[in-house]
Amino acid sequence: MERVPAIVLGGTGYVAGELLRLIAAHPRLRLAGVMSDGSPGAPIAQAFPHLAPVYANEVFQSQAQIEALLQRERAPAILSAAPHGVSAALIDALLGVAERAGHAPRVVDISADFRYATTAEYEAVYGHPHGAPARLAQFTCAVPEHLRELKTPHVAHPGCFATTILLATVPLLALDLIEPQLFVAAVTGSTGSGRKPVEGTHHPLRHGDLYAYNALTHRHTAEITACARAASGVAAHFAFVPHSGPYARGIHATVQAVLKRPLGSEALRARLADFYRHAPLVHVGDKPPRLKDIVASGYARLGAVSDGRTVAVMSVADNLNKGAAGGAMQWLNRLLGFDESLGLTAPAAGWT
């Protein structure tokens, strides 16, 4: 079968590296180009030595080279791992080139640039003008499991914290099980801070430590609130406290809320499992999930308990895979008419 050409933006970042890894193993995609304006001509294997066996000769390309590619390719897929504040304008420029050539790429953006429906919402969170306001209506933001019918040509994938938390909370709200006030504590690995070394990811400071940051003020709270409302129809309040964990990959989130009516643990898990009965990449188990169950995989796992009045739902997902590159690939599969789990069913490594 003919493979769909895939273009990756944001070339040397961790999420872009994960996209490249997933594309290499995908049976219906081929890497057409990967853009890094800061490293055009540099080997992919230089930035990502672990990908050398599959990208021994490929190099990063400039924006001009990607634009020339879009003029030639009729139906490419674009996966953007460019930074927020950069991705929107870049996508707008590339779509413009493709459209003038009579081509119609499908785009999945992993940055924050198309996660809000209006420029006002985006600018309130990020403090600068949106890079492509005319494109906002062409994007929908949702976790793949929470939107069965997509009405826009392009998708914005929620962030890794948002994905992990929304998988736990949307069923509770949509099924009217809880009062609409949720308390969330979530721990993320250091790769969530990106490739550029900063104090928060410096190994001597982070190793063997655990600490909260931006408690109740994290900028992704607005995104979580908006996505939860869109997916469940309920306007809920999220009290979110993120934590930095002493490991590289994965997010563990614990969500607590008050039940509207008594419900036992077994019945709660049954409701969650039924909610995700058509979601091949989300598993609900009888025991609390562990990061080693999902690290480097496209799966998410949920566990839940109830004391009859309060529920606690535990959710784990890999921040680079299910929470970013893998979730984007899941969306791209749907945009291209493939099974949504295609190329994403390899199990976690287990002993990372």
Sign, CA torsion 68/69/72/77: negative
In the residue annotation, 160 being an active-site residue is answered as: yes
Q: Which residue has the tokens 């180009």?
A: 33
- Measured CA to CA in angstroms, residue 277 lies from 145, 270, 313, 342 at distances of 10, 10, 17, 18
Instruction: Determine contact, residues 62/107, Cβ cutoff 8 Å.
Output: no
Distance, CA of 10 to CA of 161 (rounded, Å): 20
Q: List 241's β-bridge partners, or say none.
A: 185
**Which of the residues 44, 47, 110, 160 is marked catalytic?**
160
In the chain, the largest separation of any two C-alpha atoms, in whole Å, equals 61
Distance, CA of 266 to CA of 306 (rounded, Å): 8
Coil vs helix vs strand at 164: helix
Reported as half-sphere exposure (CB side, CA atoms, 13 A), residue 53 has a value of 4
Distance, CA of 264 to CA of 170 (rounded, Å): 19
- Measured CA to CA in angstroms, residue 120 lies from 128, 138, 311, 336 at distances of 10, 17, 35, 31
Distance, CA of 229 to CA of 234 (rounded, Å): 5
Residues annotated catalytic, as ranges: 160
